[in-house]
Structure 1
């Protein structure tokens, strides 16, 4: 099943990266645009974008103009982002056809949850089951099976395993794992990851060998062929 494609439009590169990293961790394909004109070009060029996350205040062409232009041709779900929280702005967004309206600052995890909920309401489903190397993860039930047997994991162990599986074959630094599994506002010790990896490997038994240590960097999930 192909990944669902989300277009993130914001003139702040840091904000685009923050949102993109969290969406990619949930197995979305992410496209980025730095202004309204680039967003319009990408949207009509790609044709299969499932959802837009659209900032209001941007150079060249603001979010309102982008939304109005897209609504002339498509009912694709749109989440508006803004630093302003006035009621009139929200009403304007809904009048122009926005589906959700989120004020900055916001929690990236809450934003991703809104994306998933909006796609479900729109009848667009993300892949719910991921299987690799005898490990099967049911994302809708938050459950894991290994060779057909249910595996009991803590919430963080589950999120860590899912992140590894969805980024299999990629060397992941401890900082990147912290940012995506423990959230960007987590200022803990990177050894937290080592502790969780040790517990996860033990619970996975022979499959724990899939989580390979990348010395001096972090880990890579690399299942055997």
Structure 2
């Protein structure tokens, strides 16, 4: 069965071109031509969302924020805005990739394929990535089959990144949602925990720094 892709793009010519390229690449695209308020489950049927930012109706950033309230579906942003602040804001809100217009639709298809090759962490269960296995329910971590003992904070930090492997998670979010704000809620403390977690996971680059944003779970390439 073809993988379903949701395209949200108001430009009729570009949208038709993208839909054609996605269809010829073996995907099953659905095309929305305007932004809309999202309800729980609206994007659950799709493997990936391609989202324009400047939309009639609901703005793309607002749609992205709403998606992240209840879904881990990968989101690839399309925008004519090349400003770094816009890119950083989209990534902080949970976007997985950002492409600026104009672009070749064939390049977009390859970005889609690359994103779909990465595992997507569901809100329950576990993830396996480059020899790393994280089980959320049992709170167990293994690297190359060997158990790794983590503290509560270290596991919660790893689990937060594992929920969206390959996507950046901001340092501010990690501080507010992983650390104890009464005892250790600073970005400097977060960096210390990341350093310790990296040492315990071994030489693979599982936790990557995304400069100016935060951290992400990578593929475990050798340092």
**TM, length-normalised to structure 2:** 0.52
Cα displacement (A) at 1:46: 6.0
Indicate the residue corresponding to 2:130 in structure 1: none
Say which SS state the counterpart of residue 30 (structure 1) adopts: strand
Structure 1 residue 122 displacement after superposition? 2.8
Q: Which has the larger radius of gyration?
A: 1
CA distance in 2, matches of 1:78, 1:46: 11
Residues 1-150 of structure 1 correspond to what in structure 2 (within 5 A)?
2-37=1-36, 40=38, 44-45=41-42, 47-122=44-119
> Residues 85-132 of structure 1: CA distance to partner in whole angstroms, max 9, x if unpaired?
0000000010000000000000111110000000001359xxxxxxxx
In structure 2, what is the Cα distance between the partners aligned to 1:116 and 1:109? 11
Q: Distance in 2 between matches of 1:46 and 1:54?
A: 12
Q: Say whether the 8 Å CA contact 1:79–1:98 is kept in structure 2.
A: yes
Cα distance in 2 between the residues matched to 1:119 and 1:45: 19
Count of aligned pairs between the two proteins: 121
Whether contact under 8 Å (1:77, 1:122) holds in the other structure is no
Structure 2 match to 1:165: none
TM-score by length of 1: 0.51
What is the RMSD computed on CA atoms of the aligned residues? 1.8
Q: 1:20 is paired with a residue of what secondary structure?
A: helix
Deviation of 1:54 after TM superposition, in Å, equals: 0.2
Q: Which runs of 5 or more residues in structure 2 are unaligned? A: 122-223
Q: Offset at 1:45? A: 4.2
How far, CA to CA, are the matches of 2:25 and 2:63 in structure 1? 26
Q: How many Å separate the matches in 2 of 1:93 and 1:47?
A: 20
Q: C-alpha separation between the residues in 2 aligned to 1:106 and 1:7?
A: 18
Contact 2:43 2:73 (8 Å CA) reproduced: no
- Could you tell me whether the CA contact under 8 Å between 1:52 and 1:77 is conserved in 2? yes
Following the alignment from structure 1 to structure 2, what is the Cα–Cα distance between the partners of residues 47 and 94?
A: 21
User: What stretches of structure 1 of length at least 5 have no aligned partner?
Assistant: 125-225
Q: Tell me, what secondary structure is at the counterpart of 2:113?
A: helix
Q: Following the alignment from structure 2 to structure 1, what is the Cα–Cα distance between the partners of residues 71 and 65?
A: 10
